C-alpha cells in the first residue's frame, strides 16, 4: 500500500488493486467499506500509523519541506515557519550567531516578522539591518541575550535576530531526530 500525505492529518492510501482511500489519522477515520460500513479499525489506518512512526510520511501537522535553518529536507510544521526539529529555537536554548560565531541565549521567539520589528531606535527593521541582509525577511524575530554578561538575565539587554541567523548549539546531536513525530 502506498501512503501519500495530503495535509491536515489526511493521507491517501492506494492498494494493489488501484483503489484509493482517505485516512484521517487524528480522527481515526477511513473512507474504506471496512471502516465506513462495519465500523472496524482498518488496515489503512494501521498502515498510515506505521508509515508515520517510521518517518516515511509526515505526522499530522507536519509537511515535507526545506528547513530554513539547515536547508535540509525535513518534516516541518504545516503552519508557521519551516524549521526542522533540530533548527527550531525555544527560550533557554543556546545558539550560535552565524555571522559572528558568538554564543547567545534565546530569551523569546516572537510571532513578529523580521521586516516588522525595529532595531532599537535606528529606524531600521531587523530584516534591513546590515548584517541580516542574507536572511529571509519574513523570519520570526528571536530575542537573545549574551549569556556571559555581568547583569542578571532579566537585566541584560535583549537583541533581536532573524531566526535563521541563529544555529542551535546542539543541532548536530538532534539532527538524527528529524522526521520523527
Binding of Zn ion by 67 (CB under 5 A): yes
Region from 3-11, 38-46, 53-61, 131-139 binding Zn ion, contact rule CB under 5 A: 38-46
Nearer to Zn ion, 30 or 114 (CB): 30
Candidates 5, 25, 30, 126; binder of Zn ion (CB under 5 A) is 30
Length of the chain: 181
Binding of Zn ion by 32 (CB under 5 A): yes
Contact 160, 126 (CB under 8 A): yes
Least distance to Zn ion, CB of residue 29, Å: 9
3-state secondary structure (DSSP) of residue 88: coil
Angle at CA of residue 33, ends 31 and 37, nearest 5°: 105
Region from 1-9, 63-71, 124-132, 154-162 binding Zn ion, contact rule CB under 5 A: 63-71
Which residues pair with residue 13 across a beta bridge? 3, 21
**47 vs 20: CA distance, rounded Å:** 13
Grid cell digits, residue 83: 524549521
Region from 31-39, 58-66, 97-105, 122-130 binding Zn ion, contact rule CB under 5 A: 31-39
Candidates 11, 25, 44, 95; binder of Zn ion (CB under 5 A) is 44
Binding of Zn ion by 167 (CB under 5 A): no
Q: Taking every pair of C-alpha atoms in the chain, what is the biggest distance, in angstroms?
A: 69
Angle at CA of residue 74, ends 29 and 128, nearest 5°: 120
**65 vs 78: CA distance, rounded Å:** 9
Nearer to Zn ion, 126 or 166 (CB): 166
Binding of Zn ion by 84 (CB under 5 A): yes
Which residues pair with residue 136 across a beta bridge? none
Grid cell digits, residue 6: 495530503
Candidates 25, 57, 59, 70; binder of Zn ion (CB under 5 A) is 70
Number of residues located near Zn ion, criterion CB under 5 A: 10
Binding of Zn ion by 95 (CB under 5 A): no
The binding site for Zn ion (CB under 5 A) comprises 30, 32, 35, 42, 44, 67, 69-70, 84, 87
Amino acid at each position: 500500500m502506498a501512503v501519500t500525505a495530503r495535509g491536515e492529518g489526511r493521507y491517501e492510501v492506494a492498494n494493489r488493486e488501484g483503489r484509493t482511500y482517505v485516512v484521517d489519522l487524528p480522527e481515526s477515520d477511513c473512507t474504506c467499506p471496512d471502516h465506513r460500513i462495519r465500523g472496524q479499525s482498518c488496515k489503512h489506518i494501521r498502515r498510515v500509523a506505521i508509515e508515520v512512526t517510521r518517518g516515511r510520511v509526515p505526522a499530522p501537522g507536519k509537511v515535507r519541506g526545506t528547513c530554513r535553518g539547515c536547508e535540509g529536507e525535513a518534516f516541518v510544521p504545516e503552519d508557521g515557519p519551516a524549521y526542522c526539529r533540530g533548527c527550531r529555537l525555544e527560550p533557554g536554548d543556546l545558539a550560535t550567531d552565524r555571522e559572528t560565531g558568538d554564543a547567545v541565549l534565546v530569551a523569546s521567539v516572537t510571532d513578529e516578522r523580521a521586516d516588522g520589528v525595529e532595531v532599537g531606535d535606528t529606524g531600521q527593521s531587523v530584516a534591513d539591518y546590515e548584517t541580516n541582509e542574507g536572511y529571509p525577511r519574513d523570519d520570526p524575530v528571536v530575542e537573545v541575550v549574551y549569556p556571559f554578561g555581568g547583569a542578571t538575565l532579566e537585566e541584560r539587554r535583549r537583541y533581536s535576530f532573524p531566526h535563521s541567523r541563529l544555529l542551535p548549539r546542539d543541532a548536530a546531536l538532534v539532527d538524527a531526530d528529524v522526521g520523527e513525530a
